Amino acid sequence: MAKEIIMPKFGFTQENSEILEWLKKEGETVEKGDPIAVVSTDKISMEVEAPETGILAGISHKVGEIVPVTEIIAYILQPGETLPESGSKKPEVVEEKIESAPQVSAATKISPLAAKLIEENHVDVSNLNGTGVGGQISRKDVEEYLARRSTPEGKIKATPAARRVAGEIQVDLRGVKGTGPEGRIQAADVSSYKKTPTIQKADGGLPEILKEIPLIGMRRMIADNMARSMREAPHMTLQIDVQMDEVETLRKSANEKITDKNSRISATAVIVKAAALAIKKFPIVNSQFTNEKILVFSDINIGVATALEDGLIVPVIHFADQLPVSRISIMLNDLATRARDNKLKPEDLVNGTFTISNLGMFGIDRFTAIINPPQSAILAVGAIKRHMIPDDIDDQIIRIKKMLTFNLSADHRVMDGAQAAYFMAELRDILQKPEGLFR
């Protein structure tokens, strides 16, 4: 019996994913566990694996298509088997007659999602051409028809994926010839467009537009989360300067004993460990606000904001207080590498309880970060700089010290200023007496 391959669900709130790449071809033999496709959620790109050994067949969605979770995207067949007649979904007859539309033949094959769209938008089914297996009308067929029907005269017809690609490589869609239905521009049309990109002239006397960045995927998620955080959580900020001379001396000494360059201890790893130990003493910053109560977590899972080309992502170091700083550094390096290569796994991103955002490597001295919901605090880390500091004993003597500015943004619904200040003071004490960090 043909084995269904469905679009997996990687999170509780996920509704669909985009197909980024098919790693195996139609008719190719695959082994159980082989990656056969790469799909994208709002957060990360993931591989879909073959559920069993056999022949890949019935690929029903192209690269760039947005597919609802749990929908069948292909099958695994055994020798001699054939595809189910219904394609990627069981055939469904639209039982309820759509107002103002002709009666649908009982033989018409319509997917459930397509049927819902047809009913909601009063679509005349006779205007639809089914592109699914066996001529089935899919959600994509209905959406493309609606896009054509609602497209104003003169507006560019392009798929969302095409618009995203055009924004990324700065191509003016007005110069691209579409190969899709009714001349609609596909993502592949944009990718193969060779003409030098032009700057789009905005209508209405507005400034010229260099490029358009579609508010989808990761960019949409960041926008929604940050707006929600600033809207719901009353931010308070506390800033503290910390002498880092002892930390840097011990870190340099430890790295001299490490031959593998990729395993050397980073400043961020030291800060993660220090923050974890400070949280252990003042766990209120390791909390989450709900309408009924404040949840204070015993697990200390520190997320580290990581910049990507089209946004940022926050992979998590779980149980950071229990890990040696050398292990934390290796894990950070691995997470950052896999984040840039779109190879993070769902478990790399879940259950964070506190976040660190370090912009010191970009030369930023100090900044204020926005809390990463649903957490209640985030620590912003600047660059280590040399400053002239009066001597602790004799103010007439000026010494050069390596200083680092930390800025804590905290949810005032969860904690008061004094509680946040205790955490910051503990963090400073740990970093200025850092011997315990390197054990």
Residues belonging to the active site? 412
- Please report, for residues 299, 331, 359, the alpha-carbon distance to residue 320 in angstroms, rounded to integers and kept in the order given: 9, 10, 20
**Residue written as token pair 């899919």:** 138
Compute the distance between CA of residue 165 and CA of residue 173 in angstroms, rounded to an integer: 10
| Per-residue buried b or exposed e for 141-175, using 16+ beta carbons within 10 Å of the residue's own CB | bbbbbebeeeeeeeeebbbbbbbbbbbeeebbbee
- Which positions ≥6 away from 364 have C-beta within 8 Å? 382, 383
Compute the distance between CA of residue 371 and CA of residue 412 in angstroms, rounded to an integer: 11
